[in-house]
């Protein structure tokens, strides 16, 4: 009887040890892409434009990745910035700068905060940039990424050259993505980006 109990206990611990080994196994790393990539791209993030303030940026365009020449090119046919407008009604104001409250000057009472807003102004522009892949195999959470840095040009509002730096993930047979930081004269933007592989359509 004791021998049988000892055997059962040994089997129990052996099974437990096997389970631990399975849980401790490292997840399989996704192989990096070898071919060039062609993507329909979109993004979302923050933008700060001198004289206009801080808002939300949403670029739409195309992206090309050359693994042979270590280049990443982007062309945003629509580079949209959603900023606070200046269409304010003088009847409503804030008691002091950056106050969370809004006051109706005619009746001297608090009103909903949106009354003091100037609405939303949409700045429509276009931009393009070309970046060099500084490191083409940086592993983050088992995803192969590319660190890049380059220069670009924004067509208008504001019209300026800018520098860019970021990380791009383009695993084979999957959607691409990453994040990007841009800085120019009177212009700073930071955001996420996604890319749909156009080769999957053919």
Query: For residues 94 and 2, which has the higher predicted lDDT (pLDDT)?
Result: 94
176-186 pLDDT, tens digit each: 999 999 999 99
When the candidates are 3.40.50, 2.60.40, 2.40.160, 2.40.50, the CATH number that belongs to 37-87+120-201 is 2.40.160
Q: 154 and 187 in contact (C-beta within 8 Å)?
A: yes
Q: Would you say residue 16 has pLDDT above 80?
A: no
Averaged pLDDT for residues 30-40: 77
| Confidence tier at 95 by pLDDT (50, 70, 90) | confident
Q: Would you say residue 74 has pLDDT above 70?
A: yes
Closest CA to 76 of 122, 44, 38, 42: 42
Closest CA to 171 of 135, 197, 134, 192: 197
Q: What is the pLDDT of residue 13?
A: 46
3-state helix, strand, coil in the chain (%, to 5): 15, 55, 30
pTM, entire model: 0.73
| Strand 109-111 relative to strand 37-49, pairing | unpaired
Cα dihedral 94, 95, 96, 101 sign: negative
Q: What is the pLDDT of residue 25?
A: 43
Question: Dihedrals φ, ψ of 149, to 5°?
Answer: -150, 145
| Confidence tier at 89 by pLDDT (50, 70, 90) | confident
Q: Would you say residue 142 has pLDDT above 90?
A: no
Q: What is the pLDDT of residue 20?
A: 39
Burial of 13 (0-12, 13-18, 19+ CB in 10 A): exposed
């Amino acid at each position: 009887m004791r021998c049988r109990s000892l055997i059962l206990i040994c089997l129990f611990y052996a099974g437990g040890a096997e389970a631990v080994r399975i849980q401790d196994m490292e997840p399989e790393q996704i192989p990096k892409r070898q071919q060039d990539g062609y993507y329909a791209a979109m993004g979302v993030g923050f933008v700060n434009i001198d004289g206009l303030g801080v808002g939300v940026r949403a670029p739409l365009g195309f992206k090309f990745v050359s693994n042979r020449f270590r280049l990443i090119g982007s062309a945003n046919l629509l580079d949209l910035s959603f900023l606070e407008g200046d269409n304010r009604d003088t009847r409503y104001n804030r008691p002091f700068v950056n106050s969370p409250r809004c006051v109706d000057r005619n009746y001297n009472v608090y009103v909903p905060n949106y009354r003091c807003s100037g609405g939303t102004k949409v700045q429509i522009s276009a931009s393009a940039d070309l970046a060099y892949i500084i490191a083409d195999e940086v592993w983050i959470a088992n995803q192969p990424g590319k660190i890049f840095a380059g220069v670009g040009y924004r067509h208008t509002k504001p019209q300026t050259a800018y520098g860019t730096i970021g990380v791009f993930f383009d695993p084979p047979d999957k959607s691409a993505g990453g994040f990007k930081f841009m800085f120019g004269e009177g212009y700073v933007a930071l955001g996420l980006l996604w890319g749909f592989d156009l080769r999957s359509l053919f």
